[in-house]
Structure 1
Amino acid sequence: MATEELSGPELMEAPAAPPEEPPRWSPLVLVSLGTFITVLDFFIVNVAVPDIQSELHASSVAVQFVLAGYGLPLATLMITSGRMGDLYGRRRLFVLGLALFTAASACAGLAQNPEQLVAARVFQGVAAALVTPQVLALLGAMYQGRARAVAFNVYGLAIGMAAVFGQLIGGSLIALDPGGLGWRAIFLVNVPIGLVAVALVPRLVPESRGGGGAGLDVVGMLLVMIGLVAVVLPLTEGRELGWPLWSVLCLVAAVPVLGVFALQQHRGTVRGGSPLVDTVLFRSRTFSVGLVAMMFYFATMGACFLVLSLYLQQGRGMSPLGSGLMYLPMGAGFFGATALGGSAVSRLGRWAPAVGAFLVALGYGGLALLVREIGAGGEVALLALPLLVAGVGMGLTMAPLSAMVLAPVGPDHAAAASGVLTTAQEIGATVGTALTGSIFFRLVSDHSGPATAPHAFSVSLTVLVAFDLLVVALVGFMGRAREGAV
């Protein structure tokens, strides 16, 4: 067949390749809103505990379940919901979870007794577990290259700002008392945000899903849920209850249950089945070591928020709002490093999380030394500098480390891998909080009086410094990932 050659004007008028379509940022904003409110509700409740206890006549045990009722289902269901996102649609699970979270927040804000509030908090945790693993998978599917780096930075910013400013936002809402709602405002504020996001996400966020089988691994789902409950429940409630026998037995039983789960998942992978977690993911050193690094990093972050608040409120007698304001330097450092640190991350490459973790260790070490010097009565403003340094380190660590861990994961396993990653984060935060909380309260109980709080804080922070230095070493061991390799 003859071909027609173009020459002269015809050649000049040949259509050029269409320009690459610029990324759309509205989906990122919506997904980040969902991330922000689900993370915020993990931290915001702490400041409302006295008011909740007073108005609802809640016992100390009921208050503990108000706090733990959110984190327990969140930590134990994310691996399952991540796999469900790969199978049935990540946007679908995200919207469903966000709708349920909005309804649960309304129920919590309208609760008339402790039992209703605990049930609403569990409902919130289940809903948040549906939302959380889908976020990184959706971002990975929607954005590539430089746009993906920006999206992961915004994701990290949403998590960090919700965590750092959770107490300040909660204290401000209670102090402002909009409409006379009191503590109920910390839950009801989620409702309009959730309704807007639920209405817009189906229109603006594209659907994505993975592959690797058509069914949900029910046996694996039950094993991982039982195993993680056996870990998280005693770590959450054990210290308050004096580490009863059941808490120790749960931790012991968790080892064989999770071991059977790992073996069952490996067999499912080898036989070409549809496991919750395809164990081929763990062939990547970047993914495997990165999970451990992320676990230790979140252990230090969650624990620091706990012991810093205890020092400020118990050791110095500050109000919840006043102690929340002390997080402003940390939040400023985190925001600045995340929003403006793209060039620094580009120059540092895969070492950015290591530099960030070192700065966090430096900030925590400075806090420990300063508090040891100023005690319960010195100038608290001196803490601003080490808090700022720690915040900068957090901003350089969170999003780059998440991106590194997920870089070798292919699209078929994106949400499942994200579920494993976010579960590691929650387990790390739970273990870190339980460990440092036990150290802090043990030291305070051994020597009564507010003057012991600075010493307990300094010792607790020293443990966290060691954890962050371990993160530095683990990042160095992760190696260089090939994107989408497994």
Structure 2
Amino acid sequence: MRNRALAVGLVAAFMTLLDVSIVNVAIPSIQADLGVGTSGLQWILSGYALTFGLLLVPAGRLGDARGIRGVFVAGLLGFTLASAVAGAARNELWLVTARLVQGAAAGVLNPQVTGLIQRLYPPPERGHPFGLLGATIGIATAIGPLLGGVLIQLGGSAEGWRWVFYINVPVGVLAAVLGWRLIPRRPAERRRRESLDPVGVVLLGAAVVQILLPLVQERQWQGNAKWLLVATGLATLAVFMAWERRFARRGVPLIELGLFRVPSYGLGTTLVLLYFAGFTANFFIFTLLLQRGHGYSALEAGLAITPFALGSAVAAFVGGRIVNRLGRPLVALGLVTVIAGLTATIVVLRLVPQVSPGVTMALPLLVAGTGSGLVITPNQTLTLAEVPVDRSGSAAGVVQTAQRVGAAFGIATIGSVFFARLNATGGDWTAALQGSLTASIGFMLLALLAAATDILRTRHAAARAGRDPATRATRQD
């Protein structure tokens, strides 16, 4: 029963994560059909990420307190309905509004999947389901452009983009029915009725919006004044943390701040923020290079990025099985592999510029994807390993919020590097890609530093425990 419940959760997670990347290849068709302006296109792409990140933590907490099944099904039905509305859009405002609702529903749904794994599987058995979740994340993120290209090819340039959204409807309805049947209901005595910390929800939401908004609108809002919102967002975050400490004295806070004193959780969350900052923007950049720089169709661009998806899926599955034996060094190995793959991409583009980039990048992208699969899944398993089960949803929501903030920051930063280099070189798409990949590698190196810190901490703790007479006596007994 638990494996079937997990399968339903993975299908739902795949749908919501797919919609982060699948829309990229549909943008030219949407623009041509609806006459959407530049600002509207930005909101179609980034508005989803904004509302997605906004609700992750409150929804995770709601699932912890009221039960996963109801929150999961409500989020899934909301996502399905919003997908249908998006597919039927007749103007820019209609589509942007549907995308905002779709992202919010995805934010409600996703923490429940991680919380479900935490509840259904004891710690020694979580590596395998987290491996499947990691493979799902990798495939959904990387295969989006390919699937979008296929749908547009089949449906035609005028109507094919609508099927990018409509495809969610039958899958979502079926998954909601199966989710209600298969996901276990929490016993009535375990459904807590304490306050859901509404003040904390408002403060955290305000902080997330202020931090993400200038990032997702980085190219649309000119000037530096927009970055003041990041400063006010960080100030609001400080107020939120002070409130949470106060609220914890009389109730269960939205976020258990004490979790960040657990090194595996704090360092793992930092690592995922840095990794997604360097990871997510690459698909957007690769798609731009191939479609606009080299005239690839949406389908051809998707096919060119597929090696990354294949490497990521296989490595995530394997990584989930061996992470409990290897620990954080496996994550470090994955980061080194990603860095090697991205570096190789830069090298081959320089050495053989006359060959189509879809061909020259295939092997380096396979290497980078393999490394990515060894990062996302094992890191998530290790980060949540010491989290109490009744805090799993909100803890996972924090980790996923770090992913969304990191992704938005990376797209803004690496995208700025890409377009600045493109303008400086007079439209040299390959040089622009090389500059953006160099920035991406910088984020990966910072993530590697976080992994190395955790490795050294673990080894130091093990050595100290070995020198402790009480510990040695216990081992001898």
TM over 0.5: yes
SS at match of 1:409: coil
Give the number of the structure whose residues are more often helix, by fraction: 2
Aligned residues: 456
Distance 2:138 2:327 in 1: 21
Q: How far off its partner does 1:94 sit?
A: 0.8
Task: Give CA deviations for 1:299-331 in whole Å, capped at 9, x if unaligned.
Answer: 121021122222222332222211111112112
Q: Which of the residues 81, 105, 121 maps onto 1:103?
A: 81
Q: Which of the residues 239, 251, 259 maps onto 2:230?
A: 251
Larger gyration radius, structure 1 or structure 2 = 1
Residues 316 and 169 (structure 1 numbering): CA distance in 2 closer, same or farther, change over 3 Å? same
Map of 1:193 onto structure 2: 171
Alignment of 1:277-426 (within 5 A): 277-341=255-319, 344-345=322-323, 347-375=325-353, 380-426=358-404
1:261 matches 2:244 = no
Q: Which of the residues 113, 119, 128 maps onto 2:91?
A: 113
Q: Which stretch has the larger CA shift, 425-434 or 306-315?
A: 306-315
Distance 1:78 1:439 in 2: 29
- Structure 1 runs not aligned, ≥5 long: 1-22
- Structure 2 runs not aligned, ≥5 long: 462-477
Distance 2:14 2:55 in 1: 19
Task: Give CA deviations for 1:207-237 in whole Å, capped at 9, x if unaligned.
Answer: 3497887111111111111111111111001
Q: Which stretch has the larger CA shift, 85-94 or 210-219?
A: 210-219
| Aligned partners of 2:264 and 2:382 also within 8 Å | yes
Distance 1:168 1:343 in 2: 28
1:67 matches 2:45 = yes
Alignment of 1:89-238 (within 5 A): 89-177=67-155, 181-208=159-186, 214-238=194-218
SS at match of 1:448: coil
One-letter amino acid of the counterpart of residue 241, structure 1:
W
Distance 2:191 2:246 in 1: 18
Distance 1:305 1:64 in 2: 16
Map of 2:29 onto structure 1: 51
One-letter amino acid of the counterpart of residue 63, structure 1:
L
One-letter amino acid of the counterpart of residue 198, structure 2:
V
Distance 1:80 1:454 in 2: 42
Distance 2:145 2:402 in 1: 23
CA RMSD of aligned residues (A): 2.1
Q: How far off its partner does 1:149 sit?
A: 1.3
Distance 1:408 1:167 in 2: 36
Distance 1:99 1:107 in 2: 12
Distance 2:128 2:426 in 1: 49
Q: How far off its partner does 1:71 sit?
A: 1.0
SS at match of 1:326: helix
One-letter amino acid of the counterpart of residue 111, structure 1:
A
Distance 2:357 2:282 in 1: 20
| Aligned partners of 2:56 and 2:400 also within 8 Å | yes
User: Percent identity, aligned pairs only?
Assistant: 37
1:240 matches 2:228 = no
Q: How far off its partner does 1:169 sit?
A: 0.5
Distance 1:349 1:186 in 2: 38
Distance 1:46 1:235 in 2: 18
| Aligned partners of 1:211 and 1:412 also within 8 Å | no
